């Protein structure tokens, strides 16, 4: 039996097919609205596409999860309730949620529906996870990226739900679902709108030989002529504090935990997740196939070079993030 389930992102039906073909055990998607945390223009699934996606995954013995992981707006729960109902009706294998009220709704209305706790709930200790288990019957928790491997191992031992952790892709240095940096600068937040540092608020300007990236009214980074310009995600910008300019919060880099597979297995982690529903299908194909190969080699005790993923890492750099204690 395989050591881990590989959970892969898809923002389109084409990406879903590619992910399934490349070896995803499950694909996670969102509806085309503010009910999910990758609410980007031109991305995500209609109800009909979800149905097709479920059929495609199930035909090959894979699963499909639906992320409904933003926080429903006060006075307007309709879109979130419909998302849960439609995920259930169309045969999703699990829904991934964060909001207490929405979890309550799903648990009452769809007692047979498998519930996963989104990373956006930032459940970082056994007491928190136990509550979601006891109150709503949550079966799996996606752990926030603030935990070390040792934390994850301890926590997985103590809870009676499966744990899923991020293995590759973009990473937040902040506890997910507890961050209003984006909305402070742009008025649009991950929790309410399903976007962080949205493209609608990004501008690039030239100043002499420099390229300047702006988010809302703030300069997030400046790049010399020969420096590759990155996307101005707020927490991966260069700022000035205590007399120095630096990547104060986090360097623009991707999480890559593929060389930690033995530790993650020993920790009892059930599933590994790839971030990136906003990514194109070529990227999805390469990352999923590479991670699949890595997991298969690991199961056969054969060597795998995690650097195989460097080509697709943000800024060509990767990090093990909070998994290593030194990150703190």
Which positions lie near other proteins, rule CB under 8 A?
Answer: 71-75, 77, 98-102, 104-105, 121, 123-128, 130-132, 134, 146-147, 151, 154, 173-175, 177-181, 183-187, 189, 191-192, 216-222, 235, 238-242, 244-246, 248-250, 322, 325-328
Q: How far is the CB of 131 from other proteins (least distance, A)?
A: 4
Q: How far is the CB of 184 from other proteins (least distance, A)?
A: 4
In the chain, how long is the greatest CA-to-CA distance?
61
Q: How far is the CB of 100 from other proteins (least distance, A)?
A: 4
Q: How far is the CB of 228 from other proteins (least distance, A)?
A: 17
Closer to other proteins by CB, 94 or 322: give it. Answer: 322
Closer to other proteins by CB, 158 or 310: give it. Answer: 158
Q: What are phi and psi of 162, to 5 degrees?
A: -70, 150
Closer to other proteins by CB, 18 or 141: give it. Answer: 141
Q: How far is the CB of 219 from other proteins (least distance, A)?
A: 4
Q: How far is the CB of 212 from other proteins (least distance, A)?
A: 9
Q: Is 201 helix (H, G, I), strand (E, B) or coil?
A: helix
Closer to other proteins by CB, 101 or 262: give it. Answer: 101
Closer to other proteins by CB, 127 or 227: give it. Answer: 127
Nearest to 134 by CA among 89, 167, 157, 103: 103
Q: Are 122 and 176 in contact (CB under 8 A)?
A: yes
Q: Are 45 and 29 in contact (CB under 8 A)?
A: yes
What per-residue string of b and e applies to 29-61 under the rule 16 or more CB within 10 Å gives b? bbbbebbbbbbbeebbbeeebbbbbbebbeeee
Looking at the DSSP bridge assignments, the partners of residue 255 are: 169, 319
Q: Could you give the CA distance from residue 148 to residue 154 in angstroms, rounded to a whole number? A: 10
Nearest to 231 by CA among 245, 217, 214: 214
Nearest to 135 by CA among 104, 94, 99, 97: 104
Closer to other proteins by CB, 12 or 148: give it. Answer: 148
């Amino acid at each position: 039996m395989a050591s881990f389930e590989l959970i892969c992102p898809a923002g389109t039906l084409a990406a879903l097919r590619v992910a399934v073909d490349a070896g995803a055990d499950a694909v996670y998607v969102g509806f085309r609205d503010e009910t999910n945390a990758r609410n980007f223009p031109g991305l995500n699934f209609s109800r009909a596409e979800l149905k097709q996606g479920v059929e495609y995954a199930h035909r090959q013995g894979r699963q499909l999860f639906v992320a409904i992981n933003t926080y429903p707006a006060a006075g307007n729960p309709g879109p979130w309730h419909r998302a849960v109902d439609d995920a259930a009706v169309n045969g999703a294998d699990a829904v991934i949620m964060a909001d207490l009220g929405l979890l309550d709704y799903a648990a009452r209305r769809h007692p047979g529906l498998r519930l996963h706790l989104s990373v956006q709930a930032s459940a970082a200790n056994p007491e928190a996870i136990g509550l979601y288990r006891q109150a709503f019957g949550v079966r799996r928790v996606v752990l926030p990226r603030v935990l070390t491997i040792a934390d994850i191992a301890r926590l997985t031992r103590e809870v009676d739900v499966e744990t899923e952790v991020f293995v590759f892709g973009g990473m937040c240095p902040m506890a997910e679902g507890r961050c209003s940096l984006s909305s402070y600068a742009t008025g649009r937040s991950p929790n309410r709108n399903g976007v962080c540092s949205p493209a609608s608020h990004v501008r690039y300007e030239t100043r002499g030989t420099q390229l300047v990236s702006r988010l809302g009214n703030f300069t997030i980074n400046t790049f010399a002529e020969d420096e590759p310009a990155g996307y101005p995600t707020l927490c991966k910008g260069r700022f000035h504090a205590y007399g120095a300019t630096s990547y104060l919060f986090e360097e623009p880099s991707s999480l890559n935990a593929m060389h930690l597979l033995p530790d993650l297995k020993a920790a009892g982690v059930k599933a590994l997740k790839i971030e990136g529903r906003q990514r194109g299908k070529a990227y999805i194909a390469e990352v999923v196939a590479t991670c699949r190969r890595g997991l298969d080699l690991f199961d056969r005790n054969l060597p795998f070079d995690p650097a195989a993923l460097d080509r697709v890492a943000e800024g060509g750099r990767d990090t093990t993030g909070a998994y290593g204690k030194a990150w703190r």
